[in-house]
Each structure stands twice: as structure tokens, then as C-alpha cells.
Structure 1
Amino acid sequence: MTVADPEPLRLGGMALRNGLLVHGPTMWAASVRAPDGSIATASGRKPRVGGPVEAVPGARGVLRLGEAMAVIPLVKRALPAARLPWQDARVVGSAVAVMAGGALLKRRRGGGGVAAEAALAGLSLLPSFLALRGGELAAYHGVEHKAIGAYESGAGDARDATKEHDRCGSHLMAPLLASNVAGAALLKKVVAKPGPVSGAAVSLASIGIAVEVFAWSERHDGSRTTHLLRRPGHELQRLLGTREPTEDQLDVGRAALAEILRAEGR
């Protein structure tokens, strides 16, 4: 970039099974590879919830994630050919199995404590691992990082960027699991028989804490603590979460990036 160029937009994204969804400050854009081989693209305004809650640590993270999830039905309506990460029978089956296994562990008399909560947290990752196992989703995850990374750095084309990114959602995993295990263990000490409502409260609090840790890491980029916090996420991206995409897949990412910049007035 030259001195006269504006600061790059802060972009986020989500890999689809056949394309890429990109979030901008106010708009979303998505491109997918249609069954006939063409690239279909759409964009629209993001749902936004404002108010005092935006300034509340923890709650603001849950709010932003909720807004990101609210975009998904808009994408499906605009692009019926879009295939979401969990649109796979194995992923749905594993999610059902995890729910059943979690209920069984919770019913076991001797299965309480930190060990059981850690086992439940580990089981919860199984659907995500299966979703990435097929390769195409992992490749489009790589497209997401390479397209956004190349744009943010001004380094050139997406093919030259790395497939790992410091703002990947994988960096939420470690603080999310740790806070979930700690919160569930604490809940059992203060509530005689934790129910679904208290469990949901712990899950929401864990999400809020994880997002705050994520945001803190971005504000302190380059610190040793940030490096340690991001290490699990980078390893997850490197080993499982991302794969080097093909040129055809990169073309889909380029289309999504061009559309979000157009929609945001850049």
C-alpha cells in the first residue's frame, strides 16, 4: 500500500464446503463453486444489534458471534448452492453421538469432576474434526486465510499468502475449552444438581471469556503471552484445519474478496 491508501478493512470469514463467506464491518459477501462449475456470488448487509451490551466484556463477544451466525440463513437464501460446513451426514451423526455420549457421562455416578468435564469438552470437538476430514472444507479454510491475509498485508495475490492466520477461530478453542471445564467444575461445587439452564449459562460465559482472550491477544500482538495463547490454534490450523487450496478454489476466494470490497465501498 502507498501512504495515500486507506487502512485495510477488518475482515473475517467462514469456509463453506464449496466456497467462502467473508464478513466486513457492515456487509457480508460469499462466493461458491456451483454444480455447473461457475462461480456464484452474493452479498448483503449484516444484521447488527447495538445498545449498552456492546460495552460489556464477555457479553459483547457472544453478541458478535450471534450476529455472525445470523448471516448464515441470509447466505443460504441468496446462494442456495452454498454448502455449509455441517451439511454432511457424518457430521450430523457425530453431533448426535456426542450429545448422547455427553448425557451418558453426566448420568454416571462416578463420572463427575474435572476429568469428566475435560472428556465432554474433548468429545465436543469431534464434529468439527469430522467436518474437516474430507479435505474440501479444509482447503476453503485455507482459501479464507490466504485471501484475507494477502489483502490485509498488501503482499500480493492470495496464492502467495500463508494458510494460517492469527485471527482464525481455532484460537478460541483452547480458552473456550479451559473456561468451559473450569466453569462446569465450579458449577458443581455451588449448585447441587446443575440443570440445562445453568449448563447453558456456563457455555455462554465460556464463549464470552474465549472471545475476550482472543481480543486481548490481538491488542497485544507480538507478546510472548499472545504467542503461547495462539500456539494451539496455529498447530490445529497447520495439522488439520487448513489445506493448500487449488487455483480453482483460490478463484472462488478472490471472487468473495472482490465482492466484499465492492459492497463495502472499496
Structure 2
Amino acid sequence: MPLVLGGQAVYEGVMLRSNNHMTIAVRTATGKIALHSEPLNQRHKALRLPFVRGVVALYDAIALGLRGLRLSLLMGLSEEEKHIAEPHNFAWQTILGLSLAIVLFVALPHLISAQLPMDDRWALSGIEGIVRLFVFIAFLWFVGRSKEAQRLFAYHGAEHKAVHAFEHNASLSVDGLKPFPPEHPRCGTAFLLLVLLVKIALFAFLPVGGWQGVLMRIVMLPVVASISFELLRLGATKPIFGWLSLPGLWLQKLTTREPDEQQLEVALAALKELLRLEGLIVHSHNNSTRHSLTEGR
């Protein structure tokens, strides 16, 4: 089975993962690159079946994403700043973030569309989807105006360039990563956009109005994720379905930026370390330091 890589941007760095390992590379407060790696639990074959794997991928994206962000803060912050990453602070920030996402992208669009004097469920679901898409794009645009988000989006682009370089057997160097675009068809942004579009079709069959309708939409998220994941795979792997990736690639104009050479160095360090763990190369980044974080999973 060919090696498939994924990942995300984290605080001042990049997280890359395969089916077997996760590696995080972070530019520390001293300017050095710190590395952290750990093995991933192997999934049962049944969890890799079509339509099941989408739900697993959604869980992994949330769980590993939050863990990667947490570890990157511990690796990258100075000693004076690490108090903001204390476990109880991070836990509350995570709960607040997930709650805000449910309110903005599930409850608000539904409650707005439910107020319209219409009986056609398909029309209401379409309006709900348009409102949800507008809120999502507006949120990305607003958040993306901050300097911190700009750096995170640049690391997002660096992560994509590293994955592109691996997939195209390019030189494992900063110059080898530069020619590739900062967008990637398997990006989580593309996945989220497909989720928004699939919801329009599925939510037309759900009750409209009240918190019962909101709860039903939350319960249906695993089904939406499974269908969206399969569509994402089709767009990324089958040329005839390449058009499925286009909206996600366009939306990544908001969530990626062209990285600088230092950010590419970080992404390259994560890529080399992951390939070393997979036995595909012998040496990893020469100027990096490895962190041994004993924090519980």
C-alpha cells in the first residue's frame, strides 16, 4: 500500500502524519527547530472501509489536531509564555472553540432559515446552506486578518508543499519544495467545504425549526463526514472527478499563504523525520533537536 501523508499547521510549525507515525516540527523561541514524534495506534481493517473511514478521519482530525496544537505550544513557547498552555486553560479553550463552531456553523444557519415563511424543505435547506457557507467564509476572512493567523496559514502552505514534494518524488530541500502550490486537494479545508455542501442535500430531510432541528443536525454529522470524505477521495484520486476538488482549492486561497524559507525548513524537517521513521530515508534534519514530551495522550 502506498504511503499517504496528511497533516496540518500548528503553532510555529507543521504536523505531518502517516498511518503509522505523527511528527511535529516547530520553530522554537530560540530559532531552532524542535521535533517530536510518536507512533499512532493501528486501525482495524473494518475502520478503513468506505464510509466508515470518513467518520474515523473526522475523529482523527479533531483529536490529533488538538494534540498537535497542544504539543506545538509546549515545544515552541518560551518558559515565560508556557502558562497560557497549561492543561486546564487549553481544555477550556478547546471546549469554547468547539461550542463556538456548533453555534456558528450548525445552530445559527438553521435557526435563521427556520424563521423564513416557507414550506419547501429543499429551498429552506438551500438557504440554510448558503447562510452556513457565508458565515464560514466570513469567519475565515475575519480570523485571517490577524498576524498570528497569517503565520499559521503560511505554515499551512508549507505543510502542503512538503506533501506535494513527497508525492512527486521531488528533492528533499527547501528549493525542492518551493515550486509546489500551497494548496492541496486533500486539505481539511476542502473537506470542510464538502461537508457544508453535503449538508444541503441531507438536511433537507430533517425537521426544520427549534432546538430539535439543531440536535438532529449535530447527530447527522458523522453521516455527513463519511459521505464528504468519499467525495474528497474521489476528487483527489480520480481525474474524472477532479472537479470535486476545485471548490476546496479555491477556498484554500483564504487558509494558505506562500511560506518563507524558514517555514519551509520546518515543514521539511517534519517530512524528513516522518520518512526516517517509515524507513524511507536514513537521516533526518541535521540542525533540529528532538523533544521528549511525556504528557499523556
* Same fold at TM > 0.5: yes
Q: Is the 8 A contact 2:186 2:233 kept in 1?
A: no
**Does residue 1:143 correspond to 2:158, yes or no?**
yes
Secondary structure of the residue that 1:160 maps to in structure 2? Answer: coil
Read off the aligned partner of 1:184 and give its amino acid letter: F
Q: CA deviation at 1:34?
A: 1.4
- Offset of 1:203 from its aligned partner? 2.0
CA contact (8 A) 2:21 2:277 kept: yes
Structure 2 CA distance, aligned partners of 1:103 and 1:234?
Answer: 26
Q: TM-score, normalised by structure 2?
A: 0.71
- The whole-number CA distance in structure 2 between the counterparts of 1:247 and 1:206 is 38
| Aligned match for 1:167, one of 186, 202, 222 | 186
TM-score for both structures, normalised by structure 1:
0.79
Q: Would the aligned equivalents of 1:146 and 1:161 in 2 still touch at CA under 8 Å?
A: yes
Indicate how the Cα distance of structure 1 residues 54 and 165 shifts in structure 2: closer, same or farther if over 3 A, else same.
Answer: closer
Q: 1:78 to 1:230 in 2, by over 3 A?
A: closer
> 1:53-101: CA deviations, max 9, x gaps?
432x3222111221233224543347613589xx89xx89975872674
Aligned length: 250
Aligned with residue 98 of structure 1, among 101, 104, 122 = 104
What is the letter of the counterpart of residue 63 of structure 1? V
Deviation at 1:49, TM superposition (A): 3.8
2:199 to 172, 176, 180: 180
Q: Which structure 2 residue ranges, 5 or more long, are not aligned?
A: 78-84, 86-92, 281-297
Partner-residue secondary structure (3-state), 1:208 = helix
2:254 aligned with 1:240: yes
1:41–1:79 CA contact under 8 A, matched in 2: no
The amino acid across from 1:14 in the alignment is: Q
Give CA-to-partner distance per residue, 1:193-244, whole Å, 9 cap, x none.
8445422232221111110101222331x22xx232121122222x322211
RMSD: 3.4
- What is the aligned-residue identity percentage? 29
Out of 237, 240, 243, which is 1:219 matched to? 237
Looking at structure 2, the residues matched to 227 and 254 of structure 1 have their Cα atoms a distance apart, in angstroms, of 27
Instruction: State the distance in 1 between where 2:222 and 2:144 align.
Output: 25
Tell me how far 1:262 sits from its aligned partner.
Answer: 1.6
Label 1:81 to 1:261 Cα distance change in 2 as closer, same or farther (>3 A). same
Alpha-carbon spacing, 1:161–1:63, altered in 2? closer, same or farther (3 Å): same
Q: What's the counterpart of residue 128 of structure 2?
A: 116
**Does the Cα contact within 8 Å between 1:17 and 1:137 map onto a contact in 2?**
yes
Q: Indicate conservation of the 8 Å contact 2:24/2:72, yes or no.
A: no
Find the counterpart in structure 2 of residue 28 from structure 1: 22
Unaligned runs of 5+ in 1: 1-6
Name 1:47's counterpart in structure 2: 41
Question: Aligned AA for 1:29?
Answer: T
Decide which of 164, 169, 183 is 1:154's aligned counterpart: 169
Question: Does the 8 A contact of 2:12 with 2:76 survive in 1?
Answer: yes
